[in-house]
Structure 1
Amino acid sequence: MKHARKLTVGLGAVAMSVGMVATAGVANAGTNATDYGYNSYTGAKAAKVYFQHNGDVFYIHDLAADGWGVAVQYRVNNSKTTTMVHWGGANTMVAIGRSEIPEGATVQFRACRWLSDRSDCGPMAWSESAVKAKA
C-alpha cells in the first residue's frame, strides 16, 4: 500500500512550551498514513502514529525513554477532537481500533508526546483533510 506524504509544520517558540514539534498525518482514500512527534529540545523523534485505513486502527508508538507518554489526537469530519494516550514506555506500541469512524469520512490526526494531564497536544496544526477509503 502507498503511504501518504508527511507534511511538516513548524511551530516556533510556542512548541517549546509543550516540548514538541510535530507533523500532521494525512490519510488519503485507499492509503495509510504515518505521523511523528518530535522532542523540540533534542530534535529526536519521540512519538509515531500510524493510521491503517482498513480497519480504522491507530498504532501509537513511544520512541523515546524520556518519561513522557505519547498520544494521538484525531478528529472525524472536522468535529470534536479525540485524544488517545499510550503510557507503555519507550519502545512500546499499542493498537487501538476506532469502529465509530464512518465510511467516506474525513480523518485528520497528529502525534505528540504527552505529560501529566494536558488536555491537548499543544498548538499543532492539523493535516489537510483526508478522505477515508470507502468499503
Structure 2
Amino acid sequence: MATTPPSGSGAWPVDEPPPDRQPPTAARIVEVVVAGVLWVGLALGSLLVGALAPLTAMASDGCGGSSDGGALICRPEGSLLFFGGLGLLWVLLLVAVLLSAFRIVRAATSGRPVWPWPFVGLGIALLGVVLMVLDLAVITR
C-alpha cells in the first residue's frame, strides 16, 4: 500500500519517516546485536575447529612402517578418505559462516527475524563435525 508524501512536494519531510519505514524498536536492535554476537561465536568456533581438525591425522601414528594391514588409515585409500573428510569439514564450516552472515544481513535489512540464522549456521557446522567424526571412526577401525 503506497502512500503519497504530504503536501504534494514529492518528498517526505526529513524529520518524519515514511509510514512503511519506521525506525527499529529496541527489541529489534537487541535481536540484531545478539544475532551478531552469536555469529561471531560461530565464526571463531569454526576457525578453531577448522584449524585443529588436521591434528586428527595423528590417528595414523600407530601405523608404524607397515602399510599392509591394520586400520584403513594406514593404507593410501584411507589417507584419501581422511583428506576428503577434512576438506568436506572445511567446506561446511565455510558455508555455515558465510551463509549465516549473508542471511543475518538480509533479514536485518528486510525486517524479518534475525535470530534463527546463527543457529542454522551452527547446525551446518555441527553436521560437518559429525561427518568428520564418522569419517575418522570408519578409517581408524
Category of TM-score, reference length = shorter chain: under 0.3
Structure having the larger proportion of residues in helix: 2
Q: TM-score, normalised by structure 2?
A: 0.24
TM-score by length of 1: 0.25
* Structure in which a larger fraction of residues adopt strand: 1
